[in-house]
A and B are shown apart, each in its own frame.
Chain A
Amino acid sequence: MSRETIEDYLFPALMLVIAIAAWEAYVRLAHVPSFLLPAPSEVMTTLIQDWSTLFASLLITLMTTFEALLAAMIGGVALALIFHLWRPLERAFFPFAVILQVTPVISIAPLLLVYLSSGEAVLVCAFLVAFFPILSNTALGLASADHNLIDLFELYGASSWQQLRLLRMPAALPYFLGGLRIGGGLSLVGAIVAEIAAGSAGSGSGLAYRIVESGFRLNIPRMFAALFLISITGILIFLFFTALTYMLLHRWHDSMRARER
């Protein structure tokens, strides 16, 4: 094993193991009651015991996040293209974008719950937070093509469609993927926040709902188990988009250069 492999993977993994072991030891030695802080081993046991309920919730959270992200992706890219083709619209839309982006999603969630069913409200929240990073990044990407290349396209009499397809879109790809990575994480946040806001009133049964429910029942180990699954979901989303970005960009984009040592 090379020194780099050790530094890159073994050390971080070791740190994680040490942290978990320390937690376990502290709970056991100090006799911390499990309704205050359950030991990692107890969280794992709960996870296995309640697996069918928790797994169903995990699927719901994943589906919501995925659906919201897909809608945000389609909507964000479509709007970025429309803005690109017709500039005045971008300026007209700008105030709305700013208002929606600076308003924390947690403060919109209760209002959405007035108008929508809790399932719909969760979806809309997850969509709203993912939508803007994708829109703004894609719009920035479409505008960021090399000026000399634009000149070259003009010199060869390229049509607007050719310019969009062969120049603007590839130039926007890294920006779009950046927006997607941010939006992916945020849509999970949006979904969780809306479910928490819906709380016991919600008929939803995603992971955040399990947390609220377990909190009421003082079932702290199950709260941790649900929390653990949310972290796993976040990590999976992150890994998925990192892999996708690597797949699409590693041959040509400078952001991938650090991998060549």
Chain B
Amino acid sequence: MRAEGGAGVTPLVTLRGVEKAFKSGTVALQNVDLDIRDGEFLSLLGPSGCGKSTVLRIVAGLTTISGGHVQWRGQPSLGFVFQEPTLAPWSDVFDNVWLPLRLNGVSRRDARAPVEEALANVGLTGFERAYPRELSGGMKMRVSIARALVLKPAVLLMDEPFAALDEITRAKLNDDLLSLRANLRTTIVFVTHSVYESVYLSTRICVMAPRPGRVVAEIAVDPSVVRDEEYRLGPYYADRAREASTALHAAMGASKCA
């Protein structure tokens, strides 16, 4: 099925009335409706503790839900990038990126081409033999992204991937992520608590509110607008940022604590 993400096409993933209560009694999510559409860059924007990670884990099938339902169209292959690089410290860069292939029975020899390609995509050619410890925070995150991309997933799930990085590294990685997406045409779901990051990257932003976690607003960002420094300084960007910011504040105000 070659869908283009327009209205009427079944989304890649559909969440309807999803509820998640932990054994501790915490209701992390209540009545969450969310679609993940082909080719989009969807940001989940919200304060910490509003259930963004939980949504991502549900989409990845890593946790169960206590109500509602989740529908995957076919069996979309997934890639996952965590807030921490989460690399195996005992493996070098090549072996870390090889891991998803290896778990699928691909030998080291057969993995060479796809691993090299994934590393080239994140600008890390030549670092195959380095150990995670020897890399900077930004480079580790690039390895983590290469690992998530090596199976050419239909959907790339990213949980605040750049939150721990400095501003300059973060801006660079944002741009690199955008060009990666342009080349690979991967659907991306990106969790962030930064209004500016979400407006810069996304084609659609879902604003979430805490206690209980739910989606309270949706902001569309024109996908045809080129994302560069000019975009960041222009009025369209400022308007979207204000819109997202207002929605975020309303969401925080609606909940009991700030």
Contact = CB atoms under 8 A, between A and B. Distances in A.
Nearest to A169: B90
Given A151-B62, A151-B80, A156 B88 contact: no
Interface in B96-146: 99-100, 102-104, 131-133
A154 B60 CA distance: 10
A157 interface: yes
Contact of A156 (B57, B89, B90, B100): B100
A180 to B, nearest CB: 17
B86 A155 contact: no
5 contacts: A151-B57, A156-B103, A167-B88, A252-B89, A252-B91
Interface in A139-154: 146, 148-149, 151-154
Contacts of A162: 103
Given A156-B103, A156-B104, A148 B86 contact: yes
B82 interface: yes
B84 interface: yes
Contact of B89 (A148, A153, A253): A253
B78 interface: yes
A149 B80 contact: no
**Which label, helix, strand, loop or mixed, suits the secondary structure of the A interface?**
helix
B59 to A, nearest CB: 11
A173 B90 contact: yes
B60 A170 contact: no
Given A166-B99, A254-B133, A146 B62 contact: no
A158 interface: yes
A170 B88 contact: yes
Given A152-B86, A155-B60, A167-B88, 16 more contacts: A148-B84, A149-B86, A151-B60, A151-B80, A154-B62, A155-B62, A156-B151, A157-B104, A170-B90, A252-B89, A252-B90, A252-B91, A252-B132, A252-B133, A253-B89, A253-B90
Contacts of A157: 103-104
A153 B151 CA distance: 14
A158 to B, nearest CB: 5
A3 interface: no
Given A149-B86, A162-B103, A170-B90, A251 B131 contact: yes
B131 A252 contact: yes
B137 to A, nearest CB: 15
A53 B52 CA distance: 72
Contacts of A171: 90
A253 B132 CA distance: 10
B86 A158 contact: no
Contacts of B131: 251-252
A156 B104 CA distance: 8
